[in-house]
């Protein structure tokens, strides 16, 4: 179920969102919801990395190449 929150933003940002919504033919709500989704996902990913990176480093995994060597 959806719920509503009220957020105060600068006028300039509102104008930017309105221009983007018009140009992309999407709802302003969808722009804001998408931005919040990406922000929350990024915070969750950062929290996961904070736990996993030290564990990987203990096992000698420091780079993407190190991971590739293990999985290939």
Q: Write the pLDDT tens digit of every residue in 7-54.
A: 999 999 999 999 999 999 999 999 999 999 999 999 999 999 999 999
Question: What tens digit of pLDDT does each residue of 40-49 get?
Answer: 999 999 999 9
Q: What angle do CA 58, 63, 64 make, to 5 degrees?
A: 125
pLDDT of residue 29: 96
Q: Does residue 3 fall inside a structural domain?
A: no
1 within some domain: no
Domain range spanning residue 29? 11-71
21 within a domain of the structure (yes/no):
yes
In a domain, 44, yes or no: yes
What total of structural domains would you count in the chain? 1
């Amino acid at each position: 179920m959806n719920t509503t929150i009220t957020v105060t933003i600068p006028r300039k940002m509102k104008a930017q969102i309105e221009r983007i919504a018009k140009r992309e033919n999407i709802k302003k709500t969808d722009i804001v919801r998408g931005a919040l989704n990406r922000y929350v996902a990024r915070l969750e990913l950062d929290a996961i990395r904070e736990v996993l990176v030290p564990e990987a480093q203990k096992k000698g995994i420091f780079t993407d190449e190190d991971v590739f060597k293990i999985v290939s």
